[in-house]
Amino acid sequence: MTTPRYTDLVAALPATVPFVGPEAQERARGRAFAARLGANESRFGPSPRAVAAMTRAAADAWMYGDPEMAELRAAIAAHHGVTPAHVMVGEGIDGLLGTLVRLTVAPGDPVVTTDGAYPTFNFHVAGCGGQLVKVPFAGDAEDPAALAAAARQVRPKLVYLSNPNNPMGSHHPGAVALALLDDLPEGSLLVLDEAYVDLAPPGTAATPDPDDPRLIRLRTFSKAHGLAGLRVGYALAAPGLIAAFDRLRNHFGVGRVAQAGALAALADTGWLADVQARVAAARDDIARIARDNGLVPLPSATNFVTVDCGADGAFARAVLRELIARDIFVRMPFTAPQDRCIRISCGLARDHAALAAALPAALAAARITAG
Amino acid sequence: MTTPRYTDLVAALPATVPFVGPEAQERARGRAFAARLGANESRFGPSPRAVAAMTRAAADAWMYGDPEMAELRAAIAAHHGVTPAHVMVGEGIDGLLGTLVRLTVAPGDPVVTTDGAYPTFNFHVAGCGGQLVKVPFAGDAEDPAALAAAARQVRPKLVYLSNPNNPMGSHHPGAVALALLDDLPEGSLLVLDEAYVDLAPPGTAATPDPDDPRLIRLRTFSKAHGLAGLRVGYALAAPGLIAAFDRLRNHFGVGRVAQAGALAALADTGWLADVQARVAAARDDIARIARDNGLVPLPSATNFVTVDCGADGAFARAVLRELIARDIFVRMPFTAPQDRCIRISCGLARDHAALAAALPAALAAARITAG
C-alpha cells in the first residue's frame, strides 16, 4: 500500500490543468512577451480607486477578511436590485464554479455544456466525477436549443451557458438565455456565466426573477473591472442556493485586500464606462489589423476578438505558434471548427502595434509550415 | 422535484460555518470592538516591504497571477531547502486542507484528529463525507500516542496534528511529531499543521526527509507574517502528492497581489524576527494580566495565550461573553475540559490595556451570571 491513498475518483483523474499561464510560456521561452493579449485580461487596468483601496487594505492585511463579505455583498446586491441573500462572493468564477459543481454533481451525474466552452468548468465537473455531455456550437455561438435538447435527454444537474461566449465572442440577447429555463427539464440548474457581459451590447445581461431557483448567474471583477489578479467573482441566485455555498466553501477564501479592491471597483462606474469605450475602440482596431492581413474578425461582445484565419485548425495553430515565437501572447479555441480561429484580447495601442508588426510574418511563416 | 438537486452528501450536511467573524459580531452588536484579540491575527502587521509589494502589484492586478506560482514556490523551496516540486501554495491553510481532503477522503473514509482541534479541518472532512474519529487532548496538548492508537484501529486516510496546537498554545518538539510517522499504519498520511511554528521555540518545526510520502506539512503567511487578509498558505510534501493538487485545485486561486505580498514577506527576515520578539513580550504581558486577575495563563508557543479561568466551561463562556460585551473580541476552546479557558491573541500595548481594564469587571459579572 502506498501513502497517501487517493480517492478512486482522484486516482482516475488526468493530470491536466485548464490553462498554461503566459509566465510558464515565458519561462520555457526564456524571454518575456512583448504583448500580453492571450488571457482576456483588461489591459486598461483596474480603477485607480480600486488600486487606492487595495493599497489601504494592504496595511490592514493582518486582519482576516469578513467571511460573510457583508459590505461587498450589500454593494453587489444594490447594484443588481437584489438582497445580499441573493449574492455569494468567491475566489473568481473559477472558485464559485468549483463549489457549485461540488454542491450538485456526484460521480456519474450528467452535466450539459458546449464542446469548446469554458474548460475550467469541465475541469471541476471531472473533479467531481460528473459525466460531461457536450453539444456543438451553432455558427460560432452556443446553442440554447441544442443544450435544451440534450438536457431533456439526460436530465443533468447543471447546464452551462456562457453569454457572451468565450472563446468565440458571440452572444445572445439575455432574454434568449432566460428562455432556455423553460425548455430545461425539472431539476436542471442553468449556470449562466456572464463574465464578459459588462462589455456586451445592452440587453445581453439576463434580468430574471432573482428568486427563480432554476438559475445561477456568475459575474467577475476579472474582466471589465481589470482585477484578474485579485480573484473575486460573484454569483447571483435564489437565497436557498446561495446559502448552500456555506456548506462547502472556503469561508475566509476572499481576503480583506480582495474585498476592498472589488468594492471600490464596483463603485467606480465612470472607470467602467471608460473601459467599455476603450474596449469597443480596441475591438475595432484588432478587426482592422485582421482585415489588413486578409483575415476575418468575428463580431465580439467581449474584450477580445476571435479572428478566423481562413483555413483549418492546423493552420490557426501554426499562426498562434508563429505569433508566440514573435513575442505576441495569444490563445485560440480548442475544438473544431472553431479552432480555425485565434483569439486576441484587447490591448493598448502599443500592444496592437506589436501585433500588427508581427502578424504578416507570422502568417507567412504559418503558410510555409502548415502548407 | 426541486431545483437545484444537491448531492446526497451535501443535502445531509449541517449548515454550520467553522467560525463567525468579528465583523458579524460587530454588526450584531451595532458597535466595533475596542481590541481585536480573538482570531490570532498578527496585531503587529505585515512587513512594510510586503505592503509595498502589494501596493505595486495592485496596479498590475489586471493580470492573472502565475497559476504555477513559480517565483513564490522557488523562494519557499529555498527557504526550506527543498525543491519547488515539494511546495504547493494555496488560499491559506484552509484552502490547502480543502483540496487535500478532497484528494484523499471519500464518503465513509475515516480520518483521525483531536477533539477540539482545528474545526475547519473537520468542516472539510464533513464536506467530503469522511468519518471523523476524535481522540482527547492529553494535558491540554495533542496526544501523538492516542492519535497513533486510533489510527492503528481505523486505518485512516489522514491523521491531523497541529504543532503548536490551536486553541491551547501547547507544542511538542518537532521530533516527537515526526516520530508519530513510524507509529501510523501504512497508507495513513500525517497532516502536520505548523501554522504557528514560526512563533514556537527552536526545535518545534519538523525537519523530515522532504521525500517522505507519509507526511504533509502546512504553513501560512496569516500568523507570524501578518497577512491573514491576503490568503496565502503553503504545503510541503513529496513531489507526488504536491503534483496531485493540480488535479483539483483552483489553479488561478492565489492571485498576483497575494503572491507578491507573500514573496516580500518571506524575504523580510528582519521583520519576522521583530514580530517574534514582540509576540514573546506580548505573551508575557497577557500572562501578567491574567495572573493579576487570579487566572492561570497556559504556556504558549504561538501568538496567543490560552488562559485557564479556573472553573468549568459555563464560567469561561460567561467570561468570554462579558469581555465581548466590554468590546474585547476573544475566542475560546470548544470542547471540555479545554473550554475552561479563554484564548487571547497577542496585541499592542493599547489592546492589552483595554483587556486589563475590562477583565476585572468581566470576571465579576461572570461570577454573578455563572455562579
The correct CATH number of B48-267 out of 1.10.490.10, 3.40.640.10, 1.10.10.10, 1.10.150.120 is 3.40.640.10
Q: What architecture is domain A48-268?
A: 3-Layer(aba) Sandwich (3.40)
In terms of DSSP bridges, do strands B87-90 and B233-237 run parallel, antiparallel, or are they unpaired? antiparallel
- Report the distance separating Cα A38 and Cα A347, nearest Å: 10
Q: What is the pLDDT of residues A91-134, one digit of tens each?
A: 999 999 999 999 999 999 999 999 999 999 999 999 999 999 99
Residue B194: all three cell numbers together: 505548523
Other beta carbons within 10 angstroms of residue A308's beta carbon come to 17
Q: What is the chain A residue with the closest CA to B243?
A: A15
Among A4, A249, A11, A5, residue whose Cα is nearest residue A129: A11
Across the interface, which of B4, B21, B109 has its CB nearest the CB of A104? B4
Query: Are A109 and A131 within 8 A, CB to CB?
Result: yes
Q: Which helix (H) or strand (E) holds B24?
A: helix B22-29
- Report the distance separating Cα A41 and Cα A260, nearest Å: 20
Q: What is the chain B residue with the closest CA to A55?
A: B55
pLDDT at B21: 93
Across the interface, which of A15, A45, A248 has its CB nearest the CB of B62? A45
Q: What is the pLDDT of residues B180-204, one digit of tens each?
A: 999 999 999 999 999 999 999 999 9
Answer whether B246 sits within 8 Å of A222, measured CB to CB: no
Q: What is the mean pLDDT of chain B?
A: 97
What is the average per-residue pLDDT within B230-237?
98
CA dihedral A261, A264, A266, A267 (to 10 degrees): 180
What is the average per-residue pLDDT within B155-183?
98
Among B327, B321, B293, B326, residue whose Cα is nearest residue B307: B293
pTM as predicted:
0.97
Q: What is the CATH topology of the domain spanning B19-45+270-370?
A: Aspartate Aminotransferase, domain 1 (3.90.1150)
Q: 3-state class of A131 per DSSP?
A: strand
Chain A residues close to B54, C-beta within 8 Å: 54-55, 58, 61, 257
- Report the distance separating Cα B136 and Cα B142, nearest Å: 8
B35: left (phi over 0), alpha (psi -120 to 50) or beta: beta
Q: What is the CATH topology of the domain spanning A8-45+270-370?
A: Aspartate Aminotransferase, domain 1 (3.90.1150)
- Report the distance separating Cα A87 and Cα A238, nearest Å: 8
pLDDT beyond 70 at A297: yes
Answer whether B54 sits within 8 Å of A51, measured CB to CB: no
Q: What is the 3-state secondary structure (H, E, C) of A295-313?
A: CEECCCCCCEEEEECCCCH
Residue B248: all three cell numbers together: 483539483
Q: What is the pLDDT of residues A236-258, one digit of tens each?
A: 999 999 999 999 999 999 999 99
Q: What is the pLDDT of residues B22-37, one digit of tens each?
A: 999 999 999 999 999 9
Answer whether B230 sits within 8 Å of A61, measured CB to CB: yes
Chain B residues close to A36, C-beta within 8 Å: 63
Between A41 and B20, the more confident residue is: A41
pLDDT at B371: 60
pLDDT at A371: 61
Tell the residue number behind the cell numbers 500500500, with chain if given.
A1
Please give the interface size between A and B, counted as residue pairs whose CB atoms are below 8 Å apart. 297
- Asked whether the ipTM of the predicted complex exceeds the cut of 0.90, the reply is yes
The domain locations on chain B are: 19-45+270-370, 48-267
Answer whether B70 sits within 8 Å of A23, measured CB to CB: yes
The gap between the terminal CA atoms of chain B, to the nearest Å, is: 52
Q: What is the pLDDT of residues B91-104, one digit of tens each?
A: 999 999 999 999 99
Choose, out of A1, A2, A5, the residue to mutate when testing the contact with B (most B CBs < 10 Å): A5
Q: Is the peptide bond before B239 cis (omega within 30 degrees of 0)?
A: no
Query: Are B242 and B85 within 8 A, CB to CB?
Result: yes
Q: What is the pLDDT of residues A185-228, one digit of tens each?
A: 999 999 999 999 999 999 999 999 999 999 999 999 999 999 99
Query: Which residues, 6 or more positions from B371, have their beta carbon under 8 angstroms from its beta carbon?
Result: none
Across the interface, which of A27, A51, A231 has its CB nearest the CB of B252? A231
- Taking the CA of residue A311 and the nearest CA in chain B, the distance in Å comes to 31
